[in-house]
């Protein structure tokens, strides 16, 4: 799969300008470097990723003035009766994000990927909560992820994650650029409600999912390391 295929199609259709197209293509190597770095630091292969040619905006309701920009999402899909996880990376992140920010967001989504696989492997999937506002979503997000220090053996990458995700992701300079150079220019935008940004897979599809035993063993090791780190934080 060409990770830029949807972005290239949007350019051909005229919704993405030549200048913006060249900017994203010239900076895409930063995302590739981040993926390679995450794989090396975790010893786990990164899932399939692609660039979404729009800014993804989430709000608690269609009439709410409170909204957040989702720079990347972890999306499970069933394709040709096979389960797969896809990381959606928004084009504005590639266009305007600093290297450290891009790598931190990719690493954060990688943790979501691991959490999703953990839930599926333990059949703890259907109990996933639905939250109604951005603050609650941030809290839920931070309390269910694997500990970054348990997963990544890369001090610089860990520093990027810690600085950019103290309690949910915030990068005001990046958000201002996206507002000014993307949203206010009426470039492609995808709007989703928070309660629709959830995973929905049928029991039949779940029963057909087969996971590599070696991968599951590695997941158990990371989960135990995460628990130990959290205990040290408490005491």
Instruction: Tell me what pLDDT residue 146 has.
Output: 87
Residue 90's pLDDT band (cuts 50, 70, 90): very high
Instruction: Tell me what pLDDT residue 25 has.
Output: 97
Mean pLDDT for 114-118 is: 88
- Pairwise pLDDT comparison (195 vs 152), residue with the higher score: 152
CA neighbor of 85 nearest in space, from 44, 141, 146, 57: 44
- Pairwise pLDDT comparison (201 vs 235), residue with the higher score: 201
Check whether 195 has a pLDDT greater than 70.
no
Mean of the per-residue pLDDT values for the chain?
83
Check whether 136 has a pLDDT greater than 70.
no
- Pairwise pLDDT comparison (213 vs 22), residue with the higher score: 22
18 exposure class (CB count in 10 Å sphere: 0-12, 13-18, 19+): exposed
Mean pLDDT for 214-231 is: 90
Q: How far apart are CA 124 and CA 129, in angstroms?
A: 11
Q: How far apart are CA 58 and CA 188, in angstroms?
A: 14
């Amino acid at each position: 799969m060409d990770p830029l295929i949807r972005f290239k199609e949007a350019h051909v259709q005229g919704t993405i300008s030549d200048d913006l197209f060249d900017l994203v293509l010239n900076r895409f190597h930063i995302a590739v470097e981040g993926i390679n770095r995450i794989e090396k630091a975790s010893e786990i292969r990164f899932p399939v990723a692609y660039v979404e040619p729009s800014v993804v905006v989430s709000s608690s309701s269609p009439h709410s003035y409170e909204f957040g920009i989702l720079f990347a999402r972890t999306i499970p899909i069933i394709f040709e009766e096979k389960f797969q996880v896809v990381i959606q990376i928004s084009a504005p992140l590639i266009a305007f994000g600093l290297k450290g920010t891009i790598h931190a967001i990719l690493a954060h989504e990688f943790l979501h990927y691991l959490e999703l696989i953990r839930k599926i492997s333990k059949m703890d999937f259907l109990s996933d909560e639905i939250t109604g506002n951005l603050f609650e979503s941030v809290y839920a997000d931070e309390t269910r992820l694997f500990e970054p220090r348990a997963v990544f053996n890369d001090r610089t990458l860990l520093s990027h994650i810690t600085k950019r995700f103290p309690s949910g992701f915030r990068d005001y300079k990046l958000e201002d650029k996206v507002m000014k150079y993307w949203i206010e220019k009426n470039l492609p935008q995808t709007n989703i409600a928070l309660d629709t940004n959830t995973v929905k897979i049928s029991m039949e599809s779940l029963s057909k999912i087969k996971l590599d035993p070696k991968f599951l063993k590695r997941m158990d090791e990371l989960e135990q390391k995460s628990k130990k780190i959290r205990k040290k934080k408490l005491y």
